[in-house]
Each structure stands twice: as C-alpha cells, then as structure tokens.
Amino acid sequence: MWIPQIEAGYWTRSDIWVWIRAMRIDHLVWYTADLAAGRSLFAERMDCEPRYGGVHPGEGTANAVLGLGDATYLEILGRDPAQAEAALDPEVKSLSGSGLYHWAVGGVDLSDLAGRAKAAGLEGGALVPGGRTKPDGSWLGWTCWGLRGHGFGSLLPFFIDWMDSEHPAKSAPFGGALVSLEVHSPKADELRQVFQALELEIMVKEAETPRVVAVLESSKGRLELSSFQPVPRGYVI
C-alpha cells in the first residue's frame, strides 16, 4: 500500500517521505462553494491554515492548498466571486455542501500508463497540458490523463505530471498527513480489476454506497473526508 494504516501518533513531513513511492496519491480535491469557510474549517482541524493558491481563469473557481507530505497535498476548491457564475462547470454548480470532488495520482509516466490501459482494454483520453499563473507570478504547468467510459465517476482518480514546475506540496504550508485512503463500491470486484490494470495499490471495499474515504491526521487528531453523494463524475480529461 502507498498509505500505511497507522493506529496512533502524528507523522511529520520527514516521516511521510519514507513511505512515498514513485506512484503516489498526488492530491485530494475537496470542494465547498465558500472558499473562505473551507479554509477556516481546515485551519481549525489541521495544524495550520491552507494558503490561498489563486484562481482558475474561465472556470469560476479559486483554491487554497494544504501540504500533507513532500509530494501530497489537499486542494480546497471554491467559488471565485470575481468570475461569473456561468463559468462554473454544471456539475460543480450543482454540488451542495462540501466533500471530496475528485483526487489525483502522480509519480508515473503518463504515456506508459496510457499504453498499459489501452493494452488492458480500457478507454483513455489524450494527454492534456494545462497551467496557470500563481499569485506570486510564477507559472504552474502540468499534464493530465484519465480514463473514460468507466462509469465509476470520481471513484477513479485522474493522473498528473507537474512537468518542470515545482510540486505544489513543496510550497504549501504543512498541515498534517494523509494516513489512509480507500474506495467503497457496490461493484468492488470490477473496480479492483481496473485498479490492477493501472497498478493502483488502493484498498477497494464492497459497499452499498460508493464513495472515496480519506483520513487526515494532525496534532489535533484525525479528520475523515468523504465523497459527495451521489458520487460526482470527477475531473473529466
């Protein structure tokens, strides 16, 4: 497993590096319409306040980030009041309350992964480049890839390569650790087969209600994050 199931204790950033492998959980995306309220919530429950990360031009959103390791972080995604509401993706606009929207895996050659997925009979999208200017004026660039037509929504991650950019976790304030992540699905066997084809070492449990469950830990204790219901389609590549 990428993420150890620890029973007690608080992990430091240096401890986390010990178990990070090449392929890893890169980041979690937790959505709430009110970004300021989301930052306050995590400031209360974790070891520091998430740092404002900037806007997503043309998408109607902005974010804040909180480090969970040297190469893992939490993205708090929310509305950008300076952009028209019409810019929001219809699914994002329909989300009520707050919860995990989607998640990303990094540390993998995307072209190689796309080839393995195709060989396994899975439908993958194109390698899609993207980027934006951060509040400090620096450029953050990336390439994303994901599966299509699988029907599991955001139970499946998308995959990201930050190219020559500094990983967002390195400049984010360190607020705690991601200590476990598991996926629940009424079609657990089918989902496990997809994960195996992608070499994703993620716990998949049979359950009536599909969801992703992530547990964060800080010096203030543990915090469980769970998917919206119904599970969103997630980030579509």
Residue 237: pLDDT over 80: no
Helices (H), the chain: 13-19, 35-45, 90-94, 110-119, 168-171, 188-197
Confidence (pLDDT) at 22:
66
The domains located in the chain, with CATH, are 13-226 (3.10.180.10)
In this predicted model, what pLDDT tens digit does every residue of 28-60 receive, in sequence order? Answer: 999 999 999 999 999 999 999 999 999 999 999
Amino acid at 88: L
Mean pLDDT for the chain overall: 90
Assign residue 85 a region: left if phi > 0, alpha if psi is -120 to 50, beta otherwise?
alpha
Of the pLDDT bands very low, low, confident and very high (cuts 50, 70, 90), residue 8 is very low
Q: What backbone torsions phi and psi does residue 42 show, to the nearest 5 degrees?
A: -75, -30
